[in-house]
Amino acid sequence: MIRLCAEAGAPRLDRYLVECHPDIPRTRWEAHLDAGLVRVNGETKTKGGYRLRPGDVVETELPEAPAPAGHLLPEAIDLPTLFEDSHLWIIDKPSGMVVHPGPGHAGGTVVNALLHRLRAPVAVDTAEETPEDAEELSSGWPGLVHRLDRYTTGCLCLAKTLEDQRAIQAQFLARTVEKRYLALVRHSPRLPEIGSLLVNEPIARHKHDRLRMVVAAGGRSAQTRIRVLARTTSAALVECELLTGRTHQIRVHLAHLRAPIMGDPLYGGPGRWQDTLGERMILPHPALHAWKLSVDHPTTGERIEAVAPLPEAFLALAASLGLPTI
């Protein structure tokens, strides 16, 4: 989520967005406005001609580039279903599966599986490359409304029509979607003993290591609520509620608390926190699971809660650490 404050003499809304982010074409901002993904002073605005006044607060996610050029083909990939009807498909994403095609992943993705579910190939437009590991709105890809890191397991919501996709994305923008994760982390005195801790720290890309994100002044606002469910002297089971959706947000915020996720080579591996507990022998990827997802149905308004069971490897690692699980 970005927040902009209009100054004196601010132009119409679409021009203001382009001026603030000249690297993003006007046509992409227009599509973002049409989809209802821009708010001014808390109210959704869909008209680019809306005149801003000094002090107006503009809130939005940065538009994602449309999907890469080519022809996306359906693939018969069997994925665990947590909820499905004619509008939504909520799956339990397995570890190692990429959500959409990109460099090194021409197929075998969640998007390819969705297209098979819909029984239709989809032609897509030319685009820039976007990071595959980002917990962000994903408007440029068929059906995607958010993303999970490649090795993160659990709840992933997919829309079956463009209208459904926009409706769910609007909920993400309004922060009415509830996303709760479970993670196994190293024990840290910075973790709360009782109750929850709100980590409100901005996140930006690392200046020298472009694969990593860091807590940094001037970064994009990021909020994660963290609650300790169980602990030992060396490890803890924590629940993380995402209040915003930034790339690697949970991993970065936990590392910031000196409680990196077990098995995370990017934020908690050798050279930073040594693998002294041997967690990567049991679970060779970050022990992070998208446990619960609650969203309003795009047509009925009914609240839908999907719960993804913990993977066996996650359970095995928790047992080896002496931690109970939910």
First to last CA, the chain: 31
- The residues pairing with 157 across neighbouring beta strands, listed in sequence order, are 90
Contact 326, 182 (CB under 8 A): yes
Q: Please choose, from the candidates 56, 69, 60, the residue with its C-alpha nearest in 3D space to the C-alpha of residue 34.
A: 60
Question: Which tokens is 296 given?
Answer: 């309003």
C-alpha span between 227 and 197 (Å, rounded): 6
> Which residues, other chains included, contact 215 with Cβ-Cβ below 8 Å and sequence gap of 6+?
201, 202, 203, 252, 253, 256
Max CA pair span of the chain: 62
| Gyration radius of the chain's alpha carbons | 20
Contact 59, 65 (CB under 8 A): no
Buried b (16+ CB within 10 A) or exposed e, 187-220: beeebeeeeebebebbbbbeeeeeebbbbeeebb
The two beta strands, 288-296 and 153-159, are parallel
C-alpha span between 212 and 15 (Å, rounded): 32
Q: Order across the sheet with 38-40: list the strands.
A: 2-5, 57-60, 38-40, 43-44
Looking at 89-221, list the stretches that DSSP marks H as alpha helix, in order from N- to C-terminal side: 110-118, 162-173
Q: Is 275 a catalytic residue?
A: no
Contact 317, 283 (CB under 8 A): yes
Catalytic residue among 56, 149, 164, 264: 149
Residues classed as catalytic? 149
